[in-house]
Amino acid sequence: MSKSRRTGLIVIVLSVVLAVAHTMAHKASAQAPIDQADFDGNGIVDFGDFLTFAAGFGSSTGSDAYNPALDFDVSGAVDFTDFLVFVASFSASTSEPAATFVYIADTAAGEVKAFDTATNFEDSSRRLAATTPQDVFFSDLRQRFYVSSLDTFYAFSAAGAPIYTLPLTEASDLGFVVSRAGSKMAISPDQTTAYVAELFGPVIEVIDLDQGASQAFIDVADNPNSPVLNASGTRLFVAHGGSNVARSVAPLTVIDTGTLTVVDSFSVGDSGVNRLALNPNDGTLYTNNAIGSTLVALDPTSGNIVHSVDVGTINDLSVQILDVAASPDGQFVYFTVNRIVNAIDAQGVPTLGFLGGLGILDADTFEQVGEVIVGEVAANLGVSPDGSTAYISGSESLTEVPPSIKIFIVDLTTRQAAGTLQGFELPSEISFSAGKPAIGETGWPQITVF
């Protein structure tokens, strides 16, 4: 069959599918960034772009017809998965405003849920099914979702279709399979490698994301969590939660990603650290002590403490910080804080009061400049890519049976509570995903925003 006849047949077949698939794809929101699908650069994904895609459909690396621009999922072949991604962008304009979705890893429900940040409504077509999910990341370069869970690492297409799974398990001495307890992960800047913290190693597992294969295991101290990479991806920093009883065990490990070896460790006191965050401007590391009220800023090269602040007050009987994040512009440090204070109930009887909220530090002075109370518990934290909104997993009341777990929304411009997302069993990670409209450690939910 000649190339021209082959293309003509494909156009006919795809044109028949297009009318049906376009509706399906918008519902499923399998998306490519619009500028990637606008092959001719005229500002809209139209029939001309469709003809370009059709000409390369069915090709693979090594063939004359293969065009890597059409291979949205970088699989080495322009196939039906890429077609669905293209169709989701069909008729969209590059001038249309972007849509952002917040992704919540609901551990107990066994799924990752997606909410439109403009409406706060869940888009059930974007759900990702994963047992006990702990963390989620969207690769805009690969057009894939990656999810780490207690016993499995998942890769999904942008449409939510499973691509591969990788077990995070091993055989015990007694012969049965046990979980290594996968938790948070870090993704390399080129989005080809994942570094997954596994509590029962304790190790950092290195995963080739294109091959879906484990590359290495890096032995680290107990309770590894919250791995973060520097901007160049050459250094991986790993927190270690819990009390640092053994002075030789530092609460922060530094790994060279080139040699995949531990090259340094930083100490920030007598207690481990739960979370790490990195300032996008200068690479400063922010962390909290696992059992107290102190936040610390570290030089990422020397490990020296450059700032330290105790956010406790004279009214607090107890304070605990559970999560830390930096604003996208690097001007603020956000943290979730839980306080127990003396209070008086409605009958005038002395009692204990529980306050969960979002604390705000000025990144330059490291002084607290605000705090927004959202409920009685505030746990995991996610900040939108534009820095305008924070999402916090928690509960309004510790006395509710069963407890009502919610995602609290805080407007970071006005520094006021702005609503809630509901319908969770045990959310554990919060992420965000942004795209054009056609593209559509604790037991608390994790929040990720792309």
Q: Taking the domains of the chain in order of start, what are their residue ranges?
A: 3-89, 99-449
- Determine contact, residues 85/408, Cβ cutoff 8 Å: no
* Span 113-164, pLDDT tens digits: 888 888 888 888 889 999 999 999 998 888 899 999 999 999 998 888 899 9
Average pLDDT over residues 159-178: 85
Q: Give the pLDDT confidence score for residue 184 in this predicted structure.
A: 93
Task: Name the nearest CA neighbour of 446 among 179, 147, 156, 117.
Answer: 147
Share of the chain above pLDDT 70, in %: 80
Average pLDDT over residues 273-277: 87
- Determine contact, residues 436/33, Cβ cutoff 8 Å: yes
* Higher per-residue pLDDT: 172 or 103: 103
- Can the peptide bond before residue 68 be classed as cis, meaning omega within 30 degrees of 0? no
Q: Which of 106-120, 324-338, 419-433 has the lowest mean pLDDT?
A: 419-433
CA gyration radius, the chain: 23
Average pLDDT over residues 427-448: 49
- Residue 140 main-chain phi, psi, to 5 deg: -70, -25
* Higher per-residue pLDDT: 331 or 9: 331
* pLDDT surpasses 80 at 50: yes
Spell out the residues 6+ positions from residue 227 whose beta carbon is closer than 8 angstroms to its own.
184, 185, 186, 195, 196, 197, 204, 236, 237, 238, 239, 276
CA distance 240 to 238: 7
Spell out the residues 6+ positions from residue 323 whose beta carbon is closer than 8 angstroms to its own.
274, 275, 288, 335, 336, 379, 380, 381
Share of the chain above pLDDT 90, in %: 44
Q: How confident is the model at residue 23 (pLDDT cuts 50, 70, 90)?
A: very low
* Higher per-residue pLDDT: 447 or 317: 317
* pLDDT surpasses 50 at 20: no
How far is CA 158 from each of CA 21, 196, 226, 309, 433, rounded to the nearest angstrom? 15, 21, 25, 41, 11
Terminal-to-terminal C-alpha distance of the chain? 44
Q: Give the pLDDT confidence score for residue 121 in this predicted structure.
A: 87
CA distance 238 to 222: 11
Spell out the residues 6+ positions from residue 257 whose beta carbon is closer than 8 angstroms to its own.
188, 193, 195, 229, 233, 234, 235, 236
| Secondary structure of residue 234 in the 3-state scheme | coil
SS3 content of the chain, % helix, strand, coil (to 5): 10, 45, 40
Q: Give the pLDDT confidence score for residue 135 in this predicted structure.
A: 92
Question: DSSP of 31-52, one letter per residue?
Answer: ---HHHH-TT-SSB--HHHHHH
Q: Give the pLDDT confidence score for residue 17 in this predicted structure.
A: 41
Q: Give the pLDDT confidence score for residue 430 in this predicted structure.
A: 59
Task: Name the nearest CA neighbour of 185 among 151, 217, 149, 155.
Answer: 149
Q: Which of 58-62, 221-225, 436-440 has the lowest mean pLDDT?
A: 436-440
Average pLDDT over residues 363-377: 96
* pLDDT surpasses 90 at 240: no
Mean pLDDT (the chain, rounded)? 82
Q: Give the pLDDT confidence score for residue 49 in this predicted structure.
A: 85
* pLDDT surpasses 90 at 173: no
* Span 215-227, pLDDT tens digits: 999 999 888 989 9
* pLDDT surpasses 80 at 339: yes
Q: How confident is the model at residue 4 (pLDDT cuts 50, 70, 90)?
A: very low
Q: Give the pLDDT confidence score for residue 202 in this predicted structure.
A: 92
* pLDDT surpasses 70 at 237: yes
Q: How confident is the model at residue 245 (pLDDT cuts 50, 70, 90)?
A: very low
| Secondary structure of residue 86 in the 3-state scheme | helix
Q: Give the pLDDT confidence score for residue 279 in this predicted structure.
A: 97
* Span 279-318, pLDDT tens digits: 999 999 999 876 678 999 999 999 999 999 999 999 999 9
* pLDDT surpasses 90 at 25: no
* Higher per-residue pLDDT: 43 or 444: 43
The whole model's pTM is what? Answer: 0.77
| Secondary structure of residue 124 in the 3-state scheme | helix
Looking at the domain 99-449, which fold is it? Answer: Methylamine Dehydrogenase; Chain H (2.130.10)
Q: Give the pLDDT confidence score for residue 439 in this predicted structure.
A: 25
* pLDDT surpasses 90 at 80: no
Instruction: Order across the sheet with 273-278: list the strands.
Output: 273-278, 285-289, 294-298, 305-310
Q: Give the pLDDT confidence score for residue 119 in this predicted structure.
A: 85
* pLDDT surpasses 60 at 11: no
- 103-117: b (≥16 Cβ within 10 Å) or e: bbbbbebebbbbbbb
